[in-house]
Homo-oligomer: A and B are copies of this chain.
Protein backbone atom coordinates (compact mmCIF):
# COMPACT_ATOMS: atom_id res chain seq x y z
CA UNK A 1 0.00 0.00 0.00
CA UNK A 2 1.37 3.40 -0.95
CA UNK A 3 2.22 6.02 1.63
CA UNK A 4 0.93 9.51 0.87
CA UNK A 5 2.01 12.85 2.24
CA UNK A 6 -1.02 14.50 3.78
CA UNK A 7 -0.72 17.51 1.47
CA UNK A 8 -0.91 15.12 -1.48
CA UNK A 9 -4.02 13.48 -0.05
CA UNK A 10 -5.72 16.88 0.14
CA UNK A 11 -4.45 17.92 -3.29
CA UNK A 12 -6.08 14.90 -4.95
CA UNK A 13 -8.80 14.08 -2.46
CA UNK A 14 -11.64 13.57 -4.93
CA UNK A 15 -9.50 11.22 -7.01
CA UNK A 16 -8.38 9.28 -3.97
CA UNK A 17 -11.76 8.61 -2.39
CA UNK A 18 -12.13 4.88 -1.97
CA UNK A 19 -8.38 4.29 -2.11
CA UNK A 20 -6.59 2.29 0.55
CA UNK A 21 -3.48 4.10 1.64
CA UNK A 22 -0.89 4.70 4.34
CA UNK A 23 -0.44 8.02 6.10
CA UNK A 24 2.01 8.80 8.88
CA UNK A 25 2.24 11.75 11.21
CA UNK A 26 1.86 13.22 14.64
CA UNK A 27 -1.45 13.40 16.46
CA UNK A 28 -2.51 16.99 16.96
CA UNK A 29 -5.37 15.68 19.10
CA UNK A 30 -6.89 12.28 19.84
CA UNK A 31 -10.53 12.32 20.97
CA UNK A 32 -12.17 9.21 22.38
CA UNK A 33 -15.93 9.54 21.94
CA UNK A 34 -19.22 7.67 22.34
CA UNK A 35 -18.13 6.36 25.77
CA UNK A 36 -14.95 5.04 24.24
CA UNK A 37 -16.59 3.31 21.28
CA UNK A 38 -14.75 5.30 18.61
CA UNK A 39 -12.00 7.84 18.26
CA UNK A 40 -10.90 10.73 16.07
CA UNK A 41 -7.24 11.34 15.52
CA UNK A 42 -6.11 14.59 13.88
CA UNK A 43 -2.96 13.57 12.02
CA UNK A 44 -0.38 16.10 10.83
CA UNK A 45 2.80 15.13 8.99
CA UNK A 46 4.29 18.59 8.53
CA UNK A 47 3.74 18.62 4.78
CA UNK A 48 0.98 21.22 5.19
CA UNK A 49 -0.79 23.18 7.87
CA UNK A 50 -3.99 21.16 7.73
CA UNK A 51 -4.39 17.88 9.60
CA UNK A 52 -6.12 14.78 8.25
CA UNK A 53 -8.89 13.26 10.33
CA UNK A 54 -8.58 9.56 11.09
CA UNK A 55 -11.55 7.58 12.38
CA UNK A 56 -10.94 4.44 14.43
CA UNK A 57 -13.05 2.04 16.44
CA UNK A 58 -12.54 -1.27 18.30
CA UNK A 59 -12.40 -3.10 14.95
CA UNK A 60 -9.29 -1.18 13.99
CA UNK A 61 -6.11 -3.15 14.47
CA UNK A 62 -4.11 -1.36 17.16
CA UNK A 63 -7.21 0.04 18.89
CA UNK A 64 -5.90 -0.94 22.33
CA UNK A 65 -2.66 0.90 21.67
CA UNK A 66 -4.62 4.00 20.72
CA UNK A 67 -6.75 3.86 23.85
CA UNK A 68 -3.59 3.68 25.96
CA UNK A 69 -1.85 6.53 24.08
CA UNK A 70 -4.19 9.42 23.56
CA UNK A 71 -1.64 12.17 24.15
CA UNK A 72 -1.03 14.81 21.55
CA UNK A 73 2.23 14.55 19.59
CA UNK A 74 2.42 10.80 19.71
CA UNK A 75 3.42 9.58 16.26
CA UNK A 76 1.45 7.05 14.21
CA UNK A 77 1.39 5.00 11.08
CA UNK A 78 -2.14 4.58 9.80
CA UNK A 79 -3.47 2.25 7.11
CA UNK A 80 -7.01 2.69 5.93
CA UNK A 81 -9.38 3.88 3.29
CA UNK A 82 -9.99 7.48 2.30
CA UNK A 83 -13.70 8.22 2.48
CA UNK A 84 -15.99 11.21 2.30
CA UNK A 85 -16.33 12.51 5.81
CA UNK A 86 -19.80 12.30 7.30
CA UNK A 87 -18.86 15.00 9.83
CA UNK A 88 -18.59 18.71 9.27
CA UNK A 89 -15.27 20.55 9.18
CA UNK A 90 -13.54 18.29 6.66
CA UNK A 91 -14.46 16.80 3.32
CA UNK A 92 -12.48 13.58 3.65
CA UNK A 93 -11.22 11.33 6.41
CA UNK A 94 -9.39 8.05 6.75
CA UNK A 95 -11.28 5.06 8.09
CA UNK A 96 -8.47 3.31 9.87
CA UNK A 97 -7.93 -0.40 9.36
CA UNK A 98 -4.70 -0.40 11.30
CA UNK A 99 -2.91 1.94 13.68
CA UNK A 100 0.68 1.64 14.78
CA UNK A 101 2.19 3.76 17.51
CA UNK A 102 5.65 4.92 16.37
CA UNK A 103 6.62 7.10 19.32
CA UNK A 104 5.02 8.09 22.59
CA UNK A 105 5.02 11.57 24.09
CA UNK A 106 4.52 12.26 27.75
CA UNK A 107 2.71 15.55 28.34
CA UNK A 108 4.40 15.86 31.74
CA UNK A 109 7.83 16.39 30.24
CA UNK A 110 7.07 17.56 26.71
CA UNK A 111 7.85 21.28 26.51
CA UNK A 112 5.29 21.81 23.75
CA UNK A 113 2.43 20.04 25.48
CA UNK A 114 0.53 23.26 26.12
CA UNK A 115 -1.10 25.19 23.30
CA UNK A 116 -0.35 28.84 22.46
CA UNK A 117 3.06 29.04 24.02
CA UNK A 118 4.69 32.46 23.69
CA UNK A 119 7.29 32.89 20.92
CA UNK A 120 10.05 33.88 23.34
CA UNK A 121 9.63 30.59 25.19
CA UNK A 122 9.66 28.67 21.91
CA UNK A 123 12.92 30.43 21.04
CA UNK A 124 14.55 28.48 23.90
CA UNK A 125 13.70 25.14 22.21
CA UNK A 126 14.74 25.69 18.58
CA UNK A 127 14.88 21.92 18.00
CA UNK A 128 11.22 21.46 18.87
CA UNK A 129 9.58 24.72 17.82
CA UNK A 130 9.09 23.75 14.13
CA UNK A 131 6.40 21.42 15.50
CA UNK A 132 4.30 24.41 16.53
CA UNK A 133 1.74 25.84 14.11
CA UNK A 134 3.49 29.20 13.77
CA UNK A 135 7.00 27.91 13.12
CA UNK A 136 5.81 25.07 10.95
CA UNK A 137 4.00 27.55 8.73
CA UNK A 138 6.95 29.98 8.73
CA UNK A 139 9.29 27.13 7.74
CA UNK A 140 7.11 26.12 4.82
CA UNK A 141 6.87 29.74 3.66
CA UNK A 142 10.65 30.11 3.93
CA UNK A 143 11.21 27.02 1.79
CA UNK A 144 8.70 28.15 -0.84
CA UNK A 145 10.22 31.63 -1.00
CA UNK A 146 13.75 30.25 -1.33
CA UNK A 147 12.76 28.08 -4.26
CA UNK A 148 10.88 30.98 -5.84
CA UNK A 149 14.03 33.08 -5.65
CA UNK A 150 16.00 30.39 -7.50
CA UNK A 151 13.24 30.09 -10.10
CA UNK A 152 13.17 33.80 -10.74
CA UNK A 153 16.87 34.01 -11.44
CA UNK A 154 17.12 30.78 -13.41
CA UNK A 155 14.18 31.82 -15.59
CA UNK A 156 15.76 35.21 -16.18
CA UNK A 157 19.09 33.90 -17.46
CA UNK A 158 21.09 34.16 -14.23
CA UNK A 159 23.63 31.60 -13.14
CA UNK A 160 23.91 30.53 -9.53
CA UNK A 161 27.44 31.01 -8.20
CA UNK A 162 28.75 29.63 -4.92
CA UNK A 163 30.98 32.41 -3.62
CA UNK A 164 33.25 31.44 -0.72
CA UNK A 165 32.21 31.71 2.92
CA UNK A 166 35.77 31.81 4.18
CA UNK A 167 37.42 34.98 2.89
CA UNK A 168 40.82 36.57 3.17
CA UNK A 169 39.78 40.18 3.57
CA UNK A 170 37.18 42.62 4.75
CA UNK A 171 37.30 45.08 1.90
CA UNK A 172 33.73 46.11 2.06
CA UNK A 173 33.98 47.39 5.60
CA UNK A 174 30.44 46.18 6.09
CA UNK A 175 30.97 45.33 9.73
CA UNK A 176 32.82 43.36 12.37
CA UNK A 177 34.23 40.01 11.33
CA UNK A 178 34.41 36.53 12.74
CA UNK A 179 37.85 34.96 12.51
CA UNK A 180 38.11 31.45 11.11
CA UNK A 181 41.14 29.61 12.42
CA UNK A 182 42.63 26.38 13.65
CA UNK A 183 45.02 28.21 16.00
CA UNK A 184 42.77 28.86 19.01
CA UNK A 185 43.62 25.52 20.59
CA UNK A 186 47.31 26.08 19.82
CA UNK A 187 47.70 29.53 21.32
CA UNK A 188 50.54 28.35 23.59
CA UNK A 189 52.77 27.77 20.59
CA UNK A 190 51.25 30.07 17.96
CA UNK A 191 50.62 33.27 19.90
CA UNK A 192 53.39 35.59 21.07
CA UNK A 193 52.08 37.80 23.88
CA UNK A 194 55.10 40.18 23.73
CA UNK A 195 54.18 41.53 20.33
CA UNK A 196 50.57 40.38 20.35
CA UNK A 197 50.99 38.42 17.16
CA UNK A 198 49.85 35.11 15.80
CA UNK A 199 51.99 32.81 13.73
CA UNK A 200 49.63 32.49 10.82
CA UNK A 201 52.08 30.22 9.03
CA UNK A 202 50.76 27.56 11.33
CA UNK A 203 47.12 28.36 10.59
CA UNK A 204 45.14 26.22 8.17
CA UNK A 205 45.26 28.67 5.29
CA UNK A 206 48.65 30.13 6.32
CA UNK A 207 47.03 33.58 6.54
CA UNK A 208 44.26 35.27 8.55
CA UNK A 209 40.81 34.31 7.29
CA UNK A 210 37.29 35.43 8.15
CA UNK A 211 33.66 34.64 7.56
CA UNK A 212 32.36 36.63 4.62
CA UNK A 213 30.10 39.65 5.03
CA UNK A 214 29.10 39.55 1.37
CA UNK A 215 29.77 37.53 -1.75
CA UNK A 216 29.53 40.61 -3.95
CA UNK A 217 33.16 41.16 -4.91
CA UNK A 218 33.57 37.54 -5.98
CA UNK A 219 30.18 37.60 -7.72
CA UNK A 220 31.47 40.56 -9.73
CA UNK A 221 34.32 38.40 -11.00
CA UNK A 222 31.77 35.89 -12.26
CA UNK A 223 29.45 38.54 -13.73
CA UNK A 224 32.47 39.81 -15.69
CA UNK A 225 32.71 36.34 -17.24
CA UNK A 226 29.22 34.82 -17.29
CA UNK A 227 27.03 37.92 -17.59
CA UNK A 228 24.16 37.59 -15.11
CA UNK A 229 24.90 35.71 -11.92
CA UNK A 230 23.51 35.45 -8.40
CA UNK A 231 24.60 34.08 -5.08
CA UNK A 232 22.25 32.78 -2.40
CA UNK A 233 24.02 31.75 0.75
CA UNK A 234 24.88 32.60 4.33
CA UNK A 235 26.73 35.77 5.30
CA UNK A 236 27.98 36.90 8.70
CA UNK A 237 28.33 40.00 10.86
CA UNK A 238 29.97 39.89 14.28
CA UNK A 239 28.04 42.95 15.41
CA UNK A 240 26.72 43.19 18.92
CA UNK A 241 23.04 43.72 18.29
CA UNK A 242 19.90 42.95 20.19
CA UNK A 243 17.38 44.28 17.70
CA UNK A 244 14.56 42.35 16.08
CA UNK A 245 16.06 42.93 12.64
CA UNK A 246 19.64 41.63 12.92
CA UNK A 247 21.30 38.22 12.97
CA UNK A 248 24.98 37.28 13.15
CA UNK A 249 24.36 34.60 10.49
CA UNK A 250 21.81 35.32 7.80
CA UNK A 251 21.06 34.38 4.19
CA UNK A 252 21.66 36.86 1.41
CA UNK A 253 20.73 36.90 -2.25
CA UNK A 254 23.26 38.83 -4.31
CA UNK A 255 22.64 39.17 -8.05
CA UNK A 256 25.29 40.82 -10.19
CA UNK A 257 24.54 41.88 -13.75
CA UNK A 258 27.07 42.68 -16.44
CA UNK A 259 26.21 45.31 -19.08
CA UNK A 260 23.77 46.85 -16.62
CA UNK A 261 23.24 50.07 -14.71
CA UNK A 262 21.41 51.27 -11.62
CA UNK A 263 18.03 51.35 -13.38
CA UNK A 264 18.47 47.73 -14.41
CA UNK A 265 19.05 46.53 -10.87
CA UNK A 266 16.12 48.56 -9.53
CA UNK A 267 13.91 46.82 -12.05
CA UNK A 268 15.39 43.42 -11.38
CA UNK A 269 14.92 43.75 -7.62
CA UNK A 270 11.36 45.01 -7.92
CA UNK A 271 10.70 42.20 -10.39
CA UNK A 272 12.00 39.63 -7.92
CA UNK A 273 9.87 40.93 -5.05
CA UNK A 274 6.79 40.81 -7.29
CA UNK A 275 7.68 37.35 -8.61
CA UNK A 276 7.87 35.81 -5.15
CA UNK A 277 4.45 37.28 -4.60
CA UNK A 278 4.89 39.21 -1.40
CA UNK A 279 3.65 42.56 -2.70
CA UNK A 280 1.72 43.99 -5.65
CA UNK A 281 2.07 47.76 -5.27
CA UNK A 282 4.53 49.51 -7.62
CA UNK A 283 7.58 50.80 -5.79
CA UNK A 284 8.06 54.54 -5.40
CA UNK A 285 11.45 55.77 -6.70
CA UNK A 286 12.90 58.79 -4.97
CA UNK A 287 16.33 60.41 -5.25
CA UNK A 288 18.08 60.67 -1.90
CA UNK A 289 18.12 64.49 -2.18
CA UNK A 290 14.37 64.54 -2.72
CA UNK A 291 13.90 62.17 0.21
CA UNK A 292 15.79 64.59 2.46
CA UNK A 293 13.68 67.53 1.19
CA UNK A 294 10.51 65.56 1.75
CA UNK A 295 11.51 64.63 5.30
CA UNK A 296 12.50 68.22 6.12
CA UNK A 297 9.19 69.58 4.81
CA UNK A 298 7.11 66.86 6.42
CA UNK A 299 6.49 68.95 9.52
CA UNK A 300 7.30 65.79 11.47
CA UNK A 301 9.62 66.02 14.49
CA UNK A 302 12.39 63.43 14.14
CA UNK A 303 14.82 62.60 16.93
CA UNK A 304 17.60 62.88 14.35
CA UNK A 305 16.81 65.66 11.88
CA UNK A 306 17.11 64.61 8.24
CA UNK A 307 20.13 66.30 6.71
CA UNK A 308 21.87 65.96 3.37
CA UNK A 309 25.00 63.90 3.90
CA UNK A 310 23.67 61.67 6.67
CA UNK A 311 22.28 58.21 6.25
CA UNK A 312 18.54 57.80 6.68
CA UNK A 313 17.63 56.74 10.22
CA UNK A 314 15.04 54.08 10.99
CA UNK A 315 12.51 56.79 11.88
CA UNK A 316 13.03 58.37 8.44
CA UNK A 317 12.62 55.07 6.66
CA UNK A 318 9.47 54.39 8.64
CA UNK A 319 8.05 57.80 7.80
CA UNK A 320 8.67 57.33 4.07
CA UNK A 321 7.35 53.75 3.79
CA UNK A 322 4.69 53.61 6.42
CA UNK A 323 3.34 57.16 6.69
CA UNK A 324 4.02 59.10 3.53
CA UNK A 325 3.93 56.55 0.70
CA UNK A 326 2.38 53.55 2.40
CA UNK A 327 4.53 51.03 0.52
CA UNK A 328 8.04 50.17 -0.63
CA UNK A 329 10.31 53.06 -1.58
CA UNK A 330 13.51 52.91 -3.63
CA UNK A 331 15.86 55.68 -2.53
CA UNK A 332 18.77 56.22 -4.94
CA UNK A 333 21.79 58.45 -5.60
CA UNK A 334 23.21 58.61 -2.07
CA UNK A 335 26.10 60.88 -1.01
CA UNK A 336 29.34 59.08 -1.78
CA UNK A 337 30.72 59.55 1.73
CA UNK A 338 28.15 57.30 3.37
CA UNK A 339 28.50 54.51 0.82
CA UNK A 340 31.06 51.83 -0.06
CA UNK A 341 34.18 52.39 -2.16
CA UNK A 342 33.04 50.30 -5.11
CA UNK A 343 29.93 52.31 -5.94
CA UNK A 344 29.95 54.26 -9.19
CA UNK A 345 30.45 58.01 -8.87
CA UNK A 346 27.71 60.06 -10.54
CA UNK A 347 28.48 63.03 -12.81
CA UNK A 348 27.71 65.46 -9.96
CA UNK A 349 30.91 64.20 -8.29
CA UNK A 350 29.20 63.96 -4.91
CA UNK A 351 26.64 61.17 -5.17
CA UNK A 352 26.98 57.53 -6.17
CA UNK A 353 24.70 55.31 -8.24
CA UNK A 354 23.43 53.43 -5.21
CA UNK A 355 19.92 52.43 -4.16
CA UNK A 356 18.20 51.01 -1.12
CA UNK A 357 14.74 49.50 -1.14
CA UNK A 358 12.90 50.36 2.06
CA UNK A 359 9.97 48.25 3.15
CA UNK A 360 7.24 48.91 5.68
CA UNK A 361 7.98 47.07 8.96
CA UNK A 362 11.33 45.59 7.81
CA UNK A 363 13.27 48.72 6.86
CA UNK A 364 16.07 48.17 4.37
CA UNK A 365 15.30 45.02 2.39
CA UNK A 366 17.68 45.62 -0.51
CA UNK A 367 20.90 47.57 -0.98
CA UNK A 368 22.48 47.85 -4.39
CA UNK A 369 24.53 49.94 -6.74
CA UNK A 370 26.15 50.29 -10.09
CA UNK A 371 29.81 49.37 -9.58
CA UNK A 372 32.65 51.71 -10.45
CA UNK A 373 34.03 50.19 -13.64
CA UNK A 374 36.48 53.03 -14.37
CA UNK A 375 39.84 51.84 -13.08
CA UNK A 376 41.28 55.34 -12.42
CA UNK A 377 38.31 56.41 -10.33
CA UNK A 378 38.23 53.11 -8.46
CA UNK A 379 41.93 53.32 -7.60
CA UNK A 380 41.47 56.93 -6.51
CA UNK A 381 38.65 55.96 -4.19
CA UNK A 382 40.62 53.07 -2.68
CA UNK A 383 43.47 55.45 -1.95
CA UNK A 384 41.23 58.21 -0.54
CA UNK A 385 39.68 55.76 1.88
CA UNK A 386 43.02 54.27 2.86
CA UNK A 387 41.93 50.73 1.94
CA UNK A 388 44.43 47.93 1.49
CA UNK A 389 44.97 48.25 -2.25
CA UNK A 390 47.12 45.18 -2.62
CA UNK A 391 44.41 42.82 -1.39
CA UNK A 392 42.07 44.38 -3.96
CA UNK A 393 44.35 43.91 -6.95
CA UNK A 394 42.34 40.95 -8.18
CA UNK A 395 39.19 43.04 -7.94
CA UNK A 396 40.76 45.88 -9.89
CA UNK A 397 41.83 43.41 -12.59
CA UNK A 398 38.15 43.03 -13.48
CA UNK A 399 38.34 46.65 -14.75
CA UNK A 400 41.73 46.35 -16.37
CA UNK A 401 40.85 43.54 -18.74
CA UNK A 402 37.68 43.88 -20.78
CA UNK A 403 35.85 45.76 -18.04
CA UNK A 404 32.13 46.38 -18.44
CA UNK A 405 29.48 48.50 -16.75
CA UNK A 406 27.84 46.29 -14.16
CA UNK A 407 25.54 46.54 -11.19
CA UNK A 408 24.07 44.40 -8.46
CA UNK A 409 22.34 44.27 -5.14
CA UNK A 410 22.01 42.35 -1.92
CA UNK A 411 18.67 41.23 -0.56
CA UNK A 412 18.36 40.01 3.01
CA UNK A 413 16.43 36.77 2.63
CA UNK A 414 15.46 36.59 6.29
CA UNK A 415 13.87 40.04 6.06
CA UNK A 416 11.93 38.85 3.05
CA UNK A 417 10.58 35.97 5.11
CA UNK A 418 9.86 38.39 7.96
CA UNK A 419 7.82 40.58 5.66
CA UNK A 420 6.00 37.64 4.08
CA UNK A 421 5.09 35.97 7.37
CA UNK A 422 4.46 39.10 9.42
CA UNK A 423 6.66 37.72 12.18
CA UNK A 424 8.11 40.61 14.15
CA UNK A 425 11.36 39.09 15.34
CA UNK A 426 13.89 37.96 12.73
CA UNK A 427 14.97 35.18 15.12
CA UNK A 428 11.66 33.53 14.40
CA UNK A 429 12.16 33.15 10.64
CA UNK A 430 15.45 31.20 10.61
CA UNK A 431 15.70 27.68 12.10
CA UNK A 432 18.60 28.09 14.53
CA UNK A 433 19.24 31.83 14.96
CA UNK A 434 22.75 33.07 15.75
CA UNK A 435 23.00 36.41 17.54
CA UNK A 436 25.07 38.07 20.26
CA UNK A 437 25.46 35.58 23.09
CA UNK A 438 22.99 33.25 21.43
CA UNK A 439 23.84 30.00 19.63
CA UNK A 440 21.81 26.90 20.48
CA UNK A 441 22.19 23.41 19.00
Which residues of A approach B to under 8 Å, CB–CB?
3, 5, 7-8, 24-26, 45-47, 73-75, 77, 102-106, 109-110, 112, 125-128, 130-131, 135-136, 139-140, 142-143, 146-147, 150, 154, 157, 159-168, 176-185, 187-188, 191, 193, 196, 198, 204-209, 211, 217-218, 221-222, 224-228, 233-234, 236, 238, 240, 248-249, 251, 258-259, 373, 394-395, 397-405, 430-432, 434, 436-441
Contacts and interface: CB of A to CB of B under 8 A. Distances in A.
A299 B102 CA distance: 47
Contact of A437 (B3, B205, B234): B205
A103 to B, nearest CB: 4
For the complex of A and B, list the 4 residue pairs with the smallest distance between their C-beta atoms, beginning with the closest.
Answer: A103-B403, A46-B226, A130-B225, A24-B259
B188 A182 contact: no
Central interface residue in A147, A159, A196, A218, by most chain B CB within 10 Å: A159
Contacts of A251: 162
Contacts of A183: 179, 184
Contacts of A127: 218, 221, 394-395, 397-398
B432 A218 contact: yes
Contact of A249 (B166, B181, B221, B225): B166
B238 A373 contact: no
The count of identical subunits is 2
B431 A259 contact: no
Contacts of A196: 187-188
Nearest to A414: B162
Contacts of A227: 5, 25, 45-47
B165 A234 contact: yes
A221 B441 contact: yes
Nearest to A187: B191
A146 B160 contact: yes
Contacts of A440: 168, 394
B218 A441 contact: yes
A391 to B, nearest CB: 9
